[in-house]
């Protein structure tokens, strides 16, 4: 390469080759400690929504970003989506695509904070599943019963796979029971998980049965409706939900909730600090009547903040002994990430970049392609 600075492009196959769940858990754990010490910083996700020619679909641009002093990475993750809602067998789901259904546009750009050079451009799909699954694994590590053995899984896609992988690293899982609306998908998931982890895996025909005997319940769906049903949760269970949401009864039944963190407010503007997972800015159609049509996915409410504020402890307080998590085997516990996605991407993308460079994986592009001699 003749000593030229190079920027690494990593696609999902490259990330699959070098990134492990163990690496992801370690990277996030370090990033959360750095956030607590103010050695790292991030902001909540910000979305921009613009109407399309189809009143049932919306264009949505989303970004989240963060960086740290050590090892000195900054990352921004960006998504470009057409968002809409779909119904299948009575289940309403959030859907999205870029260009056409089945394709998606999500990129992470990693920078060196010492000289501002772009280090890597990374497809976000595989890494995204890992960082979300690892978050739930961290929640299980600190909040689930030590003897938790049975996982109830709602969903059978990539998130459901990464969730189970992270949970098997922090608890001795013996059984997973899964439901998703498509029989073929849930049966394939059960078969693959049984083989991969040498555990009992059962595909269920009713979501109610997912909760029976489950020590850990995971919501990993695209549902636009609640999937964690309070009356179904059994005493002593730990719950996490990254798709769909808990219903009101579930929120009432939770005894202790863990939040991994909240992004700080801007310098000099502490009143701008919010706990919302995302902040949305939206353009309006010429006729507001058009936005009222069924299926319009544009948000009309704020992104949720602390889901169970009066029951919530923060990871920082848990690690320092300033707060307690689970205090009895009978308690129902819950965990959520918070609005620190930006910190996750510099941490996990940085770890993946280092592993890819060491393994000689990816395509090198001249860094000069991304630099210019005109000052902005």
The pLDDT tens digits of the residues spanning 304-336 come to 666 787 899 999 999 888 899 999 999 999 999
Is 217 found in the same domain as 309?
Answer: yes
| Angstrom distance (rounded) from CA 280 to CA 48 | 6
Is 236 found in the same domain as 93?
Answer: no
Q: How many domains, the chain?
A: 2
Q: Rg (Cα) of the chain, in Å, rounded?
A: 21
The answer to the question of residue 71 being in a domain is yes
Q: Are 238 and 216 in contact (CB under 8 A)?
A: yes
% residues pLDDT > 90 (the chain): 82
| Angstrom distance (rounded) from CA 77 to CA 110 | 9
Q: Domain span at residue 225?
A: 133-262+303-338
Average pLDDT over residues 248-267: 94
Is 32 found in the same domain as 78?
Answer: yes
Q: 21-36 vs 125-143: helix axis angle to the nearest 10?
A: 70
Q: 21-36 vs 158-170: helix axis angle to the nearest 10?
A: 80
The answer to the question of residue 174 being in a domain is yes
Is 62 found in the same domain as 15?
Answer: yes
Q: Enumerate residues 6+ apart whose C-beta is below 8 A from 253.
A: 230, 233, 332
Is 181 found in the same domain as 309?
Answer: yes
Per residue in 152-210, pLDDT tens? 999 999 999 999 999 999 999 999 999 999 999 999 999 999 999 999 999 999 999 99
What integer pLDDT is reported at residue 285 of this predicted model? 66
Is 288 found in the same domain as 226?
Answer: no
Per residue in 27-46, pLDDT tens? 999 999 999 889 999 999 99
Average pLDDT over all residues of the chain? 92
- For residue 289, what pLDDT band results from cuts at 50, 70 and 90? very low
Residue 294, pLDDT above cutoff 50: no
Average pLDDT over residues 4-9: 94
The answer to the question of residue 270 being in a domain is no
Start-end of H helices in 198-314: 207-210, 248-253
| Angstrom distance (rounded) from CA 126 to CA 10 | 11
- For residue 277, what pLDDT band results from cuts at 50, 70 and 90? confident
Average pLDDT over residues 243-266: 92
Is 176 found in the same domain as 251?
Answer: yes
pTM of the model: 0.88
19: nearest Cα among 139, 195, 165, 188? 165
Is 328 found in the same domain as 189?
Answer: yes
Residue 91, pLDDT above cutoff 80: no
Q: How far is CA 300 from CA 31, 62, 79, 225, 376, in A?
A: 32, 17, 20, 16, 36
- For residue 298, what pLDDT band results from cuts at 50, 70 and 90? low
Is 86 found in the same domain as 143?
Answer: no
43: nearest Cα among 66, 60, 77? 66
| Angstrom distance (rounded) from CA 103 to CA 129 | 16
Is 221 found in the same domain as 281?
Answer: no
Helix (H, G, I), strand (E, B) or coil at 154: strand
What integer pLDDT is reported at residue 301 of this predicted model? 63
Q: DSSP for 74-116, please give it.
A: EEEEEEEEEEEEEEETTEEEEEEEBSBTT--EEEEEEEETTT-
């Amino acid at each position: 390469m003749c000593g030229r600075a190079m920027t690494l492009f990593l696609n999902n196959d490259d990330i699959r080759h070098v990134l492990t769940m163990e690496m992801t858990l370690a990277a996030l754990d370090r990033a959360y400690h750095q956030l607590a010490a103010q050695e790292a910083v991030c902001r909540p996700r910000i979305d921009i929504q613009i109407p399309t020619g189809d009143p049932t679909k919306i264009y949505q641009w989303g970004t989240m970003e963060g960086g740290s002093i050590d090892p000195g990475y900054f990352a921004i993750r960006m998504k470009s989506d057409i968002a809409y809602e779909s119904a299948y067998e009575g289940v309403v789901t959030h859907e999205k695509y870029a260009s056409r259904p089945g394709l998606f546009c999500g990129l992470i750009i990693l920078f060196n904070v010492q000289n501002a050079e772009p280090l890597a451009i990374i497809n976000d799909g595989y890494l995204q599943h890992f960082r979300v699954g690892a978050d739930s694994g961290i929640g299980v590590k600190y909040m689930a019963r030590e003897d938790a053995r049975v996982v109830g899984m709602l969903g059978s896609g990539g998130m459901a796979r990464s969730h189970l992988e992270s949970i098997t690293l922090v608890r001795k899982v013996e059984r997973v029971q899964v439901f998703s609306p498509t029989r073929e998908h849930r049966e394939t998931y059960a078969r693959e998980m049984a083989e991969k982890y040498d555990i009992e895996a059962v595909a269920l025909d009713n979501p109610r049965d997912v909760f029976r005997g489950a020590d850990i319940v995971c919501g990993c769906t695209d549902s636009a409706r609640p999937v964690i049903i309070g009356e179904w949760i059994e005493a002593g269970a730990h719950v996490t939900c990254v798709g769909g949401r808990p219903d009101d009864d579930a929120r009432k039944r939770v005894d202790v909730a863990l939040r991994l963190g909240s992004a700080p407010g801007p310098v000099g503007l502490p009143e701008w600090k919010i706990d919302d997972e995302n902040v949305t800015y939206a353009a309006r159609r010429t006729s507001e009547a058009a936005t009222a049509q069924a299926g319009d996915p544009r948000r009309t409410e704020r992104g949720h903040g602390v889901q169970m504020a009066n029951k919530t402890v923060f990871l920082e307080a848990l690690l320092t002994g300033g707060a307690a998590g689970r205090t009895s085997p009978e308690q129902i516990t819950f965990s959520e990430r918070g609005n620190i996605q930006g910190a996750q991407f510099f941490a996990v993308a940085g770890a993946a970049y280092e592993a890819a460079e060491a393994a000689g994986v990816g395509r090198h592009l001249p860094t000069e392609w991304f630099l210019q001699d005109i000052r902005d």
